Amino acid sequence: MINFIDPHSDEFKKIQSISFKHSCLICEQPLKDNGVYFSILKQEEDPSDESDNDMILYRLGCKYCKTVYTVDFKILSIDFEKFPNFVTRNIPHA
C-alpha cells in the first residue's frame, strides 16, 4: 500500500492547518485530536499526457462522527445517524 500523503505539499499543509484551528462542525470535537487525513490520487484523464502530474487531493475526516471535510473546510459528507438530535421524518410530497 502506497502512502500518498506528502507532508510538504501545500495542499497537505492547508488541510493540516484546518485540523489545528477548527473543531468539527457536527460534533464539536477538536479536529487536532479527532481528525484523520485521507488522500485521493487524482489521475490525469488524458493517457497520452506523459507528464507526471498526478494530483493528490486531501480530505479531513472526524473520527468521532465520521464527517468528511474538504481542504476549504466545507462538509463533504456526514454520517447523519450520528447527527445530534437526529429525527427521522419523511419529506412530504406536494
Residue closer to Zn ion, measured from CB, 5 or 25: 25
Footprint of Zn ion on 43-72 (CB under 5 A): 62, 64-65, 67
Non-local (6+) Cβ contacts of 2 within 8 A are none
Spatial distance between the Cα atoms of 75 and 78, rounded to a whole number of angstroms: 7
Q: Is 39 helix (H, G, I), strand (E, B) or coil?
A: strand
Q: How far apart are the first and last CA of the chain?
A: 50
- Based on the shown chain and the rule CB under 5 A, indicate whether residue 78 belongs to the binding site for Zn ion: no
Contact pick of 15, 24, 71, 78 for Zn ion (by CB under 5 A): 24
Residue closer to Zn ion, measured from CB, 24 or 60: 24
Catalog residues that contact Zn ion under the rule CB under 5 A.
Answer: 24, 26-27, 62, 64-65, 67
